[in-house]
């Protein structure tokens, strides 16, 4: 293979898009040609520069797009191409949207004769009245205020249905109500809610905001544990970044270091890996850092991070490889 052919193939070589034979030829040529090795290094540097301009939508943007999609699907009147022709109708005073229709399977549909419907409706109203009367003050202590309790449930689900006598039915509903709470982020009860929200699998935007609020109280062992969990397990990179911010000051804590090491070796996001390296390097545990960076070098494919590790290891007079 000539230098011209090798250089022509370098971009596809770096992308791993050459055939086995072509790749072999390029590798052999690069081993023997210093000028083409330099070209390969430049190609990789260009790739690293390109990595750096990728835009990653914030979780809030994703949450907004999802919310708009719900609205638009609702407005489309449910003209889906579903074979069954299941139609999304606009219904109810609240929550007429597509997403609300997801819970259609849980809502009540009466198909009784008019007379029976009246009786059943009365029974249902009694049940609702009973539940509303039983609606106890929230069990959360702490110094925060509660406002805007909705008179009607935000969602409801029929838990249990039983005919009690001819024409009468008893229905047990599970209801979810919305309420607005406000209070100090230092309040234990507020923190408990934030800890729950930080694990809500359905809303990355909510998790980002919750973790962002919690991270300023990472002195609490429970919160630090939640941040470690989010950093290790949250599928959203924005949430993991926020959790990492809260853990930065605990780089010296053995448990946190252990978690950071795992994240460095496993996280797929190069931005997070880079920040974890910074946190680990700040601490004076050079032997452990050298070991983990060497391990990282064995598998890291991001050229920017590789360069960074090499520099750090050089600065520590350590080899870039494990022996």
Partner 1 sequence: MVPQTAVRMDEPELIRAAQQGDQRAFEQLVRLYDQSVLRLATNLLRSPEDANDIYQEAFLRVYKNLHTFRFDCSFHTWLYRIVSNLCLDALRKRKVRREESSLVETNEGYLNRMDTVEEPRADSDPERSLESKQVREKIQEVLGGLTPRERAVFEMRHYQGMRLRTIGEVMGTSEEAAKNCLFRATQKMRAALGDFV
Residues that bind partner 1 (CB under 8 A): 11-12, 15, 17, 42-43, 45-47, 49-58, 60-62, 64-66, 68-69, 72-73, 76, 79-86, 88, 98-99, 101-106, 109, 236, 238, 241, 270-272, 274-275, 278, 304-305, 308
Residues sharing a CB contact under 8 Å with residue 183, sequence separation 6 or more, in sequence order: 142, 143, 144, 145, 189, 190
Q: How far is the CB of 250 from partner 1 (least distance, A)?
A: 19
Residue 163 φ then ψ, to 5°: -70, 130
Report the residue number, 103 or 179, with the smaller CB distance to partner 1: 103
DSSP secondary structure, 251-264, as one string: TTSHHHHHHHHHHH
Report the residue number, 101 or 207, with the smaller CB distance to partner 1: 101
Report the residue number, 65 or 91, with the smaller CB distance to partner 1: 65
Task: Return the H-helix or E-strand segment holding 206.
Answer: helix 204-214
Residue 181 φ then ψ, to 5°: -115, 140
Q: How far is the CB of 195 from partner 1 (least distance, A)?
A: 23
Q: How far is the CB of 141 from partner 1 (least distance, A)?
A: 34
Report the residue number, 190 or 296, with the smaller CB distance to partner 1: 296
Q: For residue 49, count other CB atoms closer than 10 A to its CB.
A: 11
Report the residue number, 11 or 254, with the smaller CB distance to partner 1: 11
Query: Helices 3-15 & 34-51, crossing angle to 10 degrees?
Result: 30
Report the residue number, 29 or 242, with the smaller CB distance to partner 1: 242
Q: Do the Cβ atoms of 301 and 268 come closer than 8 Å?
A: no
Report the residue number, 42 or 159, with the smaller CB distance to partner 1: 42
Task: Return the H-helix or E-strand segment holding 176.
Answer: strand 168-176
Q: How far apart are CA 307 and CA 137, in angstroms?
A: 58
Q: How far is the CB of 126 from partner 1 (least distance, A)?
A: 26
Q: For residue 266, count other CB atoms closer than 10 A to its CB.
A: 10
The number of CA neighbours under 13 Å toward the Cβ of 4 is 0
Q: How far is the CB of 84 from partner 1 (least distance, A)?
A: 4
Q: How far is the CB of 236 from partner 1 (least distance, A)?
A: 8
Report the residue number, 16 or 137, with the smaller CB distance to partner 1: 16
- What is each CA distance from 160 to 9, 170, 212, in whole angstroms? 67, 8, 40
**CA angle 150–198–255, rounded 5-degree value:** 155
């Amino acid at each position: 293979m000539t230098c011209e052919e090798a250089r022509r193939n370098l971009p596809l070589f770096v992308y791993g898009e050459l055939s086995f034979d072509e790749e072999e030829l390029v590798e052999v040529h690069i081993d023997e040609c210093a000028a083409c090795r330099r070209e390969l290094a430049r190609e990789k540097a260009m790739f690293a520069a390109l990595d750096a301009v990728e835009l990653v939508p914030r979780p809030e943007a994703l949450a907004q797009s999802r919310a708009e999609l719900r609205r638009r699907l609702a407005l489309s009147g449910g003209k889906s191409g579903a074979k069954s022709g299941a139609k999304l109708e606009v219904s109810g005073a609240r929550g007429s949207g597509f997403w609300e229709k997801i819970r259609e399977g849980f809502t009540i549909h009466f198909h009784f004769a008019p007379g029976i419907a009246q009786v059943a409706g009365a029974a249902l109203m009694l049940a609702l009245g009973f539940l509303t009367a039983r609606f106890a003050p929230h069990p959360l202590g702490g110094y925060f205020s509660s406002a805007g309790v909705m008179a009607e449930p935000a969602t409801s689900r029929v838990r249990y249905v039983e005919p009690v006598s001819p024409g009468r039915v008893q229905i047990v509903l599970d209801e979810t109500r919305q309420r607005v709470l406000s209070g100090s982020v230092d309040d234990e009860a507020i923190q408990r809610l934030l800890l729950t929200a930080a694990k809500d699998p359905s809303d990355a935007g909510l998790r980002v905001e919750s973790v962002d609020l919690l991270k300023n109280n990472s002195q609490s062992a429970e919160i630090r544990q939640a941040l470690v969990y989010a950093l290790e397990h949250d599928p959203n990179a924005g949430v993991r970044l926020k959790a990492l911010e809260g853990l930065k000051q605990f780089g010296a804590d053995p448990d946190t270091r252990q978690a950071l090491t795992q994240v460095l070796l496993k996280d797929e996001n190069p931005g997070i890996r880079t920040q974890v390296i910074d946190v680990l390097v700040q601490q004076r545990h050079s032997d452990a850092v050298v070991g983990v960076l060497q391990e990282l070098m064995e598998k890291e494919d991001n050229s920017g991070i590789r360069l960074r590790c090499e520099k750090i290891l050089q600065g520590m007079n350590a080899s870039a490889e494990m022996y």
